[in-house]
Amino acid sequence: MTAPDRTGPALWSAQAHMPSVLGRQLTITRGEGNYVFTSDGQRLFDGTAGLWHANIGHGRAEMAEVAAEQMRTLETYHVFGRYLNDRAVELAERVRDLSPVDDAKVILNSGGSDSIDVALKLARRYWQLRGRHDKTVVLSRDLSYHGLHAFGTSVAGLDFNREGYGTDALVPETARIDTADIERVRQRVAEIGPDRIAAIIAEPIQGTGGVIPPAPGYLEGLQRIADEHDILFIADEVITGFGRTGTWFASERYGIRPDIITMAKGISSGYSAVGGIIVAPEVWEPFYTDDAPIYRHGTTYSGHATSAALALKNLEIIEREGLLDRVRSLETVLADELAGIAADPRVAATRVAGFLGGIELGPAHSAERITDAMVDEGWIARPLRGNVVQISPPFTTTDAEVRGIVAAVRAGLDATS
């Protein structure tokens, strides 16, 4: 064992095996459209839109102007108690109007993991308020990812993210359900007892678990189980929200009616740290009556004014540039390209839903090595659990760039086979 180097960068990377990344880190210093540039001047196609967030592309001057103007007027003011700021109010109204939930209320915060904490605390608090004190258990799917704060770490179906944090989940009373078979979900609900279950949380399309679209009828089945047993249905739309599937929310595409939707990423396309939840009336109303308790949640930057101004402009751009239509068209191009590569014997499976694709490689090949080879050639893709290469570029991507990145996967396979 060699002693750790004390002279390296101060920044401790996220989700990285530090000895493996030191010395080969890529520092991004500039972004323009669908491309980012490293400190060495290499131009890279952002084939994953960063962490599925840079949906309108990088470096838009219009966004910089909005931020500067808002900061000159009011950088932010908190939304605790009787205080509000006008941009947060406006963003909440905009999200309410876009959301598939009628008469929703919106809580804003700083990102996806925040949203999971807010949603799951609210689900438990809601049932306490309704006098259903035993309803505390949160169900989540195998292979699910719900961020890395304590609640999200606890409910995730990716066990490696819980390693070393104690014998149980960080937050107790969570349980996993099958990711595809609705009959097995029913059995699990019966075993636990529906009277103990507060909520089911599900990504409409599982992202980090390997880009896994829902099995036919699965989400509708979860919706039925939730309806039949008085269980709150929470759609984690942190990836899918704001257009990734060609509708504002994937809940619309799959015909589900969540009680709570979690969101982040695409709400601002990464121009600021914004997340939040959309709450249906049956959940928020008990907190709005004369004798209601306070929902004890909030952070300094809940409803941050500059972040909200940027999110508003991002949503305007998505609408103005017709990017939802564009996503629907890009889905077709990506599906065609993935159908082509699926015939390659080195590829085990391909999956696509919205502008979100996964290429699962056969056991003799490594998604990690292939994506490393791809970046050397100017194409960013990301290895996911299950030996999958993730492709989810910005909505502003051209058809030629979609063809280019799938060709780059093929070249990566050739280079590493």
List interacting residues with ligand PLP (CB under 6 A). 51, 111-113, 116, 145-147, 203, 207-208, 236, 238-239, 264
Q: What's the min distance (Å) between Cβ of 205 and ligand PLP? A: 9
Nearer to ligand PLP, 148 or 411 (CB): 148
Q: For residues 365 and 240, what is the distance between their CA atoms, to the nearest angstrom? A: 29
The packing angle between helices 305-320 and 86-98, to 10°, is: 40
Contacts of 137 (CB under 8 A, 6+ apart): 173, 174, 175, 192, 196, 197, 198
Q: Residue 3 burial by CB count (10 A; 0-12/13-18/19+): exposed, middle or buried?
A: exposed
Nearer to ligand PLP, 152 or 412 (CB): 152
Nearer to ligand PLP, 218 or 333 (CB): 218
Nearer to ligand PLP, 99 or 333 (CB): 99
Q: What's the min distance (Å) between Cβ of 100 and ligand PLP? A: 17
Q: What's the min distance (Å) between Cβ of 113 and ligand PLP? A: 3
Q: What is the DSSP string of 157-216?
A: S-GGGGTTS-SS-SSSSEEEE-SS-HHHHHHHHHHH-GGGEEEEEE-SSB-TTT-BPPPT
Which DSSP symbol is given to 8? Answer: S
Q: What's the min distance (Å) between Cβ of 23 and ligand PLP? A: 26
Closest residue to bound ligand PLP by CB: 112
Q: For residues 336 and 109, what is the distance between their CA atoms, to the nearest angstrom? A: 38
Number of H helices, E strands in the chain: 14, 15
Nearer to ligand PLP, 170 or 411 (CB): 170
Q: What's the min distance (Å) between Cβ of 356 and ligand PLP? A: 11
Q: What's the min distance (Å) between Cβ of 377 and ligand PLP? A: 26
CB atoms within 10 A of CB 265: 26
Q: For residues 295 and 283, what is the distance between their CA atoms, to the nearest angstrom? A: 11
Q: What's the min distance (Å) between Cβ of 114 and ligand PLP? A: 7
Are 311 and 91 contacting, i.e. CB atoms less than 8 angstroms apart? yes
Nearer to ligand PLP, 51 or 67 (CB): 51
Nearer to ligand PLP, 236 or 331 (CB): 236
